[in-house]
Amino acid sequence: MPSPPLTGRIRVPGDKSISHRSLMFGALAVGRTRISGLLEGEDVLATAAALRAMGVHIERDGDEWVVHGVGVGGLLQPDRALDMGNSGTSTRLLMGVIASHGITATFTGDASLSKRPMNRVIDPLSTMGASFTPSPGGTLPLTMEGMQPAVPITYRLPVASAQVKSAVLLAGLNTPGTTTVIEPVPTRDHTERMLCGFGAELTVEEADGERAIRIHGPAELRPCDIAVPGDPSSAAFFAVAASVVPGSDLVIENVGLNPTRNGIFRVLGQMGADIEKLDEREVGGEPVADLHVKHSRLRGIEVDPAIAPSMIDEFPILFVAAAMAEGTTTTSGLEELRVKESDRLSAMATALQEVGVTLEETDDGLIIEGSHGEPLPGGGTIATHLDHRIAMSMAIAGLVSRKGVEIDSTEPIATSFPNFTALLATASS
């Protein structure tokens, strides 16, 4: 049976992207950085463990985390392999950090991470002087040797990837001269915002629709106090749930609404979702608001592919919203989803068909026929492919399914949203 309405006020965990970066930048600053609201998911804890292995003292102090930074260039040779678990962000950003340090590191990960492509980071970092011995296909396990001093480069991103951009900029921190990244399509800009907050000499210029980001090294970073806002990717699951479950009236507090990350809320608005921003404010250089979401009748739309970089992680849950809408929703330009924790296009197509959704999978998107707000048939067991976003998206689909949805494993959810199930139970009780 479909779920009761989602009501009350909830607060989602801290932003994963900002949590990773706050630990790394704190480690590269000289002195003590305090972080409140850090996401304590497995991915972020993998970042903390890797930094500890390179000589950074990181401790939890009550509700805060304290990082005693060693300064740019101060990381030590790790005495063991760096186990990244399922975290692609940790891996690619730390490869950038290590690329301009005179140390050697081996990266390992779980079965899912070991299938993900690393060549997109290896290529520019090799140009800067780092050397890599990856597994066949450019995957983990991978050993790399940094170069000190590294060589500054100008790099045009071949694909829209904040991780690749950030890896090159992080390598630039300990590289004499100016390292430049050119973005044909803007991607999430947490790295740029936070590096400026930590005192890096960084400039961003826009011309002819492109962004040129320049960092001048070697940098001296100063410690900061950081308040991590709620993760918009996590908030998206509840925003969709409240939009599609009849009678819902839910406030999601303290959600980060960085314009390079808030595409999901803009698209839901285009579909007719009733989402109101309350108490809009700025926290640590990031726009934040409370989101008041009420049940609404969604309509199918053609999603502009240009918005994809600002919501690439949220398409799985958008597909669930589309399944409940009136009419057809068409998505395209989503090739990137095929190289995430799983092939998310294929995994979500199969999962939604399993619960009775009519759709077509294309090379770069899904075309989904909505149910006009009627509950989905449900039933069937969903293969998550060890992907946290598939698991959570289909859990939300279960809320509006007659027979419910069975998920083969909820364990991957801990990578990004450890209290997801508990919070869902609270909101729908």
Which of 202, 220, 238 lies at the terminal end of a domain, its last residue? 220
Within this chain, do residues 253 and 342 fall inside the same structural domain, yes or no? yes
Tell whether 108 and 185 lie within a shared domain: yes
Q: Is residue 352 part of a domain?
A: yes
pLDDT of res. 126: 98
Same domain, 206 and 349: no
Residue 1 has pLDDT above 70, yes or no: no
166 plus 253 within the same structural domain: no
- Which of the two residues, 379 and 272, has the higher pLDDT score? 272
**Both 179 and 260 in a single domain?**
no
Q: In what order do the strands lie in the sheet with 210-217?
A: 154-156, 177-183, 210-217, 201-207
Residue where one domain finishes, among candidates 203, 220, 237: 220
Give yes or no for a contact between 181 and 189, defined as CB atoms under 8 angstroms apart. no
Residue 284 clears pLDDT 80, i.e. is over it: no
Q: Establish if 26 belongs to a structural domain.
A: no
Number of domains in the chain: 2
Residues 6+ apart with CB under 8 A from 19: 35, 38, 39, 44, 47, 228
Tens digits of residue pLDDT in 242-262: 999 999 999 999 999 999 999
Q: Helices 315-324 & 344-354, crossing angle to 10 degrees?
A: 30
Domain contains 19: no
Let me know: does 40 contact 16? Beta carbons within 8 Å.
Answer: no
Q: Considering the chain, what is the average pLDDT of its residues? A: 96
324 shares its domain with 237: yes
Whole-model pTM: value is 0.90
pLDDT digits (tens, 9 = 90+) for 153-165: 999 999 889 999 9
Q: 313 an active-site residue?
A: yes
Based on the fold, state whether residues 253 and 206 are members of the same structural domain.
Answer: no
User: Residue 50 has what pLDDT?
Assistant: 98
Same domain for 91 and 177?
yes
Lowest mean pLDDT among 18-22, 120-124, 183-187, 392-396: 183-187
What is the reported pLDDT for 380? 82
Position of tokens 């149910």?
Answer: 371
Domain housing 94: 72-220
Percent of the chain clearing pLDDT 70 (strictly above): 100
Average pLDDT estimate for 318-328: 98
Q: What does the pLDDT average to over 44-48?
A: 97
CATH number at residue 329: 3.65.10.10
Residues 170 and 260 in one domain: no
pLDDT of residue 209: 86
Looking at the structure, do residues 187 and 318 belong to the same domain, yes or no? no
Q: For position 282, what pLDDT does the model report?
A: 87
**Catalytic one of 313, 343, 363, 387:** 313
Residue 65 located in a structural domain: no
Residue 11 phi, psi (nearest 5): -135, 120
Per-residue DSSP letter, 382: E
- Does residue 180 lie in a domain region? yes
Domain boundary among 197, 220, 243: 220
Q: Mark whether 362 and 296 lie in a shared domain.
A: yes
Is 407 inside a domain boundary?
A: yes
Residues 99 and 156 in one domain: yes
- Over residues 144-148, the mean pLDDT reads 97
Q: Is the pLDDT of residue 367 over 70?
A: yes
